[in-house]
Amino acid sequence: MRRAVFLDRDGVLNRERGEHTWELEQFEILPGVPEALRVLQEKGRALVVITNQSGIGSGLYGHDDVERVHGYLRRMLADHGVQLTDVYYCPHHPDNGKCLCRKPGSLLLEKAMARYGIDAGGSVMIGDRDRDVEAARSVGVRGIRVESNEPLLPLVLNRTILG
Ligand SMILES: [Mg+2]
Ligand SMILES: [Zn+2]
């Protein structure tokens, strides 16, 4: 089984702006992120993004907007030699009823673990909200809470993530 690093998106990979991010001009990949992910990839970790995108459910933006941003993220990382294993997002808004995929729900982590044969106990989830950590813990994945927009590379280099 593979070990994975599950990654929240906004505030971990790209700058958390304090509002929804769905246009390329708003999507700023944080410094050191490609380098950090490459280290994790070289350690054999699957790299899986798990993100809540309730702006779809509220009608603020569409699936195509999210796919465009994720396509850009994948290409930008690929330019640095990093292949994201997969990107999962919850499109639902809680006002329209509870779903199982919106973090702190764990459905998207469970899907990824099943599809890619990921060992929960050997994996971590990095997020800037309590709900990221809660989603991970509920399926036996270690959750690491970081500050929004905190540099990722030091966490990787001091082995907080790999430990
Ligand atoms: Mg976040
Ligand atoms: Zn959902």
pLDDT at 161: 84
pLDDT at 107: 98
Of 163, 161, 135, 162, the closest CA to residue 146 belongs to 161
Which ligand is in closest contact with the Cα of 146?
1
CATH (one of 3.30.420.40, 3.40.1440.10, 2.40.50.100, 3.40.50.1000) for 10-120+132-144: 3.40.50.1000
Distance 99 CA to ligand 2 centre (A): 5
Q: CB of 9 within 8 A of CB of 49?
A: yes
Distance 34 CA to ligand 1 centre (A): 17
The list of the chain residues with pLDDT below 70 reads: none
pLDDT at 163: 73
pLDDT at 140: 98
What string of DSSP letters covers 16-49?
--SS---SGGG--BPTTHHHHHHHHHHTT-EEEE
Please state whether the predicted TM-score (pTM) of the whole model is above 0.85.
yes
142 burial type by CB count under 10 A (0-12 exposed, 13-18 middle, 19+ buried)? middle
Beta bridge partners of 142: 124
- List active site positions: 8, 10
Give the tokens for residue 153. Answer: 């590379």
Residue whose structure tokens are 């997002």: 89
pLDDT tens across 59-99, in order?
999 999 999 999 999 999 999 999 999 999 999 999 999 99
Which ligand is in closest contact with the Cα of 105?
2
